[in-house]
Structure 1
Amino acid sequence: MPGRVRWSAANIFHSPPPPLASPSSSSAASSEGPLTPPVVYAGLPGPTPFIPHPPHYAPRTTGRAHNLIAFSNPPLLNYDVSLHPSSISTHYRGVPTAGFLDPATYPPEPLITLMTPHIPWPVTVAAANGRYATVSDVLNAVYCCLRVNVTHGEFLTLGTHKLMHQVSEAYRRRCERLRGHRGYREEKQSGIRRIDFLMGYTKFKGISPGRSSDVWQLHIS
């Protein structure tokens, strides 16, 4: 392994993010500024090599996601999941900021799980208001989950030197984007995070119904 890659002895999430800020019709930047990752690979990585492929199933026909986060192409929100949700913007006029406090799914659920074949970790979304998971809860949960440090053992489950190299490169590029900005040194010292397993593909495309009322598919490109 290259000397620049660092590891955490356990999964750690440093510095919990502040609450989601309201988006606007123009781009909203984080304190570090808009940092868009370069598109390097020809396609999104396939299903993870470290967990069995999930069985095929027909998505349920009931239930839907809130329009702000419903799977669509293009998505309603411009969101790079490697950045804090305060960086979210949209090209659409008239998007109500109050919508971020609406139920994320219909019918509303107090706890939902987001799954994607591109990482082995589920994203658990709990209701901050104690009643139902909101749109804001979903966006923050995705960000927080992907910010967790990857242990050396988890890294080894990638299985091949090629995948390990690609994840290491994603970590390096992510840190380089912060060079000259606040938090660069801390981010580099923190080491590889779950977000790096996406290998630079960090565009949020929304969520869609999964196999049960509390399981939803997370779409990223």
Structure 2
Amino acid sequence: MPGRVRWSAANIFHSPPPPLASSSSSSAASSDGPLTPPVVHTGLPGPTPFVPRPSHYASRTIGRAHPLIAFYTPPLLNYDVSLHPSSISTHYRGVSTVGFLESATYPPETALTLITPHLPWAVIVAAANGCYVTVSDVLNAVYCSLRVNVTTVEFLTLGTNKLKHQVSEAYRRRYERLRGHRGYREEKQLGIRRVDFLMGYTKFKGISPASGRSSDVWQLHIS
């Protein structure tokens, strides 16, 4: 590993092991025992993203996502999950900031669990307004959960030197883009984060109901 790579001693953000893991694992905040590593595939780690269906957000009667974050190709929002949600843009007319305060799903939920085969962690989304999870809550939770530092134990679960190198390179590219700007030194010193496990594949594609799961569990799509 390059000498510049750093890890935190423990996680700052706590989330449960991913529901899709093939075996049980300890809390993400613990360094006792390895977490389930991503499945190795060419390109994006984990299975290839699901093929989208027309009007996918309305395809299941028990729940659908708000159009702003529903799984579309192309998605309504242009969002790189390695950046703060304030960087979001769109080419579609009629998108209002009011939409970000609306319920992320229908029926509304007080909390959501987002799972993805590309990461060994789930994203827990709480309702900031105390009533229902909003579109803004989902986007902020994804960003904050991916900003969590990776522990040495979690890094070692990658297994192969190739995967470790790819994650380390994703980390280097992430802080190098800030060179000459405020925050460069801090970003470099804080080390590898969960977003680096995506190895540069950080485009938000939306969420869709997770097959065979309860109504509060949703699939997070990233490419």
| TM-score (norm. length: structure 1) | 0.80
Are residues 1:217 and 2:188 paired? no
For 2:60 and 2:90, locate their aligned partners in 1 and report how far apart those are by CA, in whole Å: 29
Report Cα offsets for 1:46-97 as digits up to 9, x if no partner.
25xxxxxxxxxxx964200000000000000000000000000000011121
Partner of 2:75: 75
Gaps of 5+ in 2: 14-40, 48-58
Asked if 1:201 is matched to 2:201, the reply is yes
d(CA) in 1 for partners of 2:96, 2:44: 31
- In structure 1, C-alpha distance between the alignment counterparts of 2:76 and 2:68, rounded to whole Å: 6
Are the equivalent residues in 1 in contact too, given 2:46–2:119 (CA < 8 A)? Answer: no
1:147 paired with 2:147, answer yes
Query: Identity rate of aligned residues, in percent?
Result: 84
CA deviations 1:115-168 (Å, max 9, x no partner) are: 000001100000000000000000000000000000000000111111101000
Q: What is the letter of the counterpart of residue 131 of structure 2?
A: R
Q: Distance in 2 between matches of 1:44 and 1:169?
A: 14
Secondary structure of the corresponding residue to residue 206 of structure 2: strand
The corresponding residue for 1:172 is 172
Distance of 1:62 and 1:201 partners within structure 2: 30
Instruction: Classify the secondary structure of the residue corresponding to 1:212.
Output: coil
Q: Which runs of 5+ in 1 are unaligned?
A: 14-40, 48-58
SS at match of 1:109: coil
Q: For residue 220 of structure 1, what is the amino acid of its counterpart?
A: I
Contact 1:60 1:212 in 2 (8 A): no
Question: May I ask how many residue pairs the two structures share in their alignment?
Answer: 183
Letter in 2 for 1:143: Y
1:81–1:202 contact (8 Å) kept in structure 2: yes
Q: Is the 8 A contact 1:209 1:215 kept in 2?
A: yes
